[in-house]
């Protein structure tokens, strides 16, 4: 029998489904709401997430690599469309056909390898993000061959979509529209430029498809427009509790020294579990009493590999006794909150949690 002191992650699959349905209700009925499930659904298990979203009506899924696509095809019927965003070689052609997977083409070189093989393709144009993508001024080179290919969508990606007033959004949109206009002169085409952020910039940014990632997983984009439900919570236990006098240091390097007599609670979790060291002396640990009242304890000192220490001086003793539950993420202290206090972005917090470790117990609520 193992001790129950090790930390656990609780993943609310129903909340992911509800976030998908909320976006679907928000956009026009003609707009396809697709799900980004790359990086193992941002760490939350791409098979479980994809299966849930398929049951909710989602039929379009985006991954980064072909092996991810093949992995989720095992739970997705063949009427579901799976798109591979990056990396293509001629040796992939047979697998793309076998598993009915659509390849995203990011360069003229990739297009020349893919053409004339009867593949389903998506053309990705870089309109200003300056990462992967066909250069906008290369469209004229591609036009003669595009007509004969099975192009599901022409897409791009906004660099500043989470700034509603950024002039770069309109700049990228104008370039994208110019590319679409040229293609439309030779064939009918469907298009998409927006991920979660761009979806809220208005109907003119939604086109035929939107690619929803972070909103699905409880990360806020424009909560004043539509709020995403929290998906992830992390719980652990208090291992030890004691008091230190004024002037005594806490943790490696004594980055915290007590300015008063301080009660310390030591909890069982650390950076080996994906808790960022940047939360040292800045993050919070949550405690609840039997009536559900919330108390927030500041993290003191450096985040260690396996342990955190926090200040529970002003918190009732019955909330912080040895064996009591300590909460690192929940509806009252979300990934967005943790990211703000650690100087990270929410996606780095979410994907950085150590889901596969035997140190961490995973629970799914379905």
- For the annotated catalytic residues, the residue numbers are 38, 252
For residue 300, count other CB atoms closer than 10 A to its CB. 24
Backbone phi and psi for residue 232, each to the nearest 5 degrees, phi listed first: -115, 135
Supply the Cα-derived Rg of the chain in whole angstroms: 24
CA dihedral 305, 310, 316, 317 (to 10 degrees): 50
Q: What whole-number distance in Å separates Cα of residue 322 and Cα of residue 330? A: 21
Q: Per DSSP, what are the bridge partners of residue 216? A: none
Counting Cβ atoms within 10 Å, is residue 76 exposed (0-12), middle (13-18) or buried (19+)? buried
What residue spans of 165-267 are helical by DSSP H? 167-184, 196-199
The string of DSSP codes covering 8-41 is: EEEEEHHHHHHHHHHHHHHS-TTSEEEEE-HHHH
Residue 298 CA to residue 209 CA, distance in Å, equals 43
C-alpha 161/C-alpha 205 separation (Å) is 10
**Vertex 65, ends 60 and 70: CA angle to 5°?**
65
């Amino acid at each position: 029998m193992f001790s129950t002191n090790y930390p656990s992650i609780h993943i609310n699959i129903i909340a992911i489904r509800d976030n998908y349905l909320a976006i679907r209700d928000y956009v026009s009925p003609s707009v396809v709401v697709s799900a980004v499930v790359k990086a193992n659904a941002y760490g939350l298990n791409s098979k479980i997430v994809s299966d849930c979203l398929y049951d909710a009506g989602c039929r379009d899924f985006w991954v980064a690599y072909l092996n991810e696509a093949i992995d989720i095809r095992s739970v997705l019927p063949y009427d579901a469309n799976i798109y591979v965003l990056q990396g293509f070689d001629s040796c992939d052609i047979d697998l793309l056909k076998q598993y009915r997977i659509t390849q995203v083409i990011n360069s003229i070189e990739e297009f020349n390898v893919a053409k004339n093989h009867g593949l389903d393709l998506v053309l990705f144009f870089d309109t200003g993000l300056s990462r992967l993508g066909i250069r906008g001024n290369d469209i004229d080179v591609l036009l003669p061959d595009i007509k004969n290919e099975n192009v599901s969508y022409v897409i791009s990606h906004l660099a500043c979509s989470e700034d509603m007033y950024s002039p770069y959004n309109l700049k990228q949109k104008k370039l994208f529209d110019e590319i679409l206009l040229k293609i439309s002169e030779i064939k009918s085409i469907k298009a998409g430029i927006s991920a979660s952020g761009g979806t809220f910039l208005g109907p003119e940014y939604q086109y035929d498809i939107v690619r929803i990632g972070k909103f699905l997983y409880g990360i806020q984009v424009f909560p004043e427009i539509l709020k995403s439900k929290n998906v992830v919570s992390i719980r652990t236990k208090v291992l030890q509790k004691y008091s230190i006098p004024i002037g005594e240091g806490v943790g490696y390097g004594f980055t915290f020294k007590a300015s008063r007599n301080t009660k310390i609670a030591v909890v069982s979790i650390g950076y080996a579990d994906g808790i960022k060291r940047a939360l040292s002396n800045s993050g919070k640990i949550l405690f609840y009493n039997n009536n559900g009242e919330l108390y927030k304890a500041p993290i003191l000192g450096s985040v260690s590999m396996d342990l955190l220490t926090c200040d529970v001086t002003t918190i009732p003793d019955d909330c912080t006794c040895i064996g009591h539950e300590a909460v690192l993420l929940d509806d009252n202290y979300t990934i967005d909150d943790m990211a703000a206090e650690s100087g990270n972005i929410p996606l780095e917090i979410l994907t950085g949690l150590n889901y596969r470790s035997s140190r961490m117990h995973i629970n799914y609520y379905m």
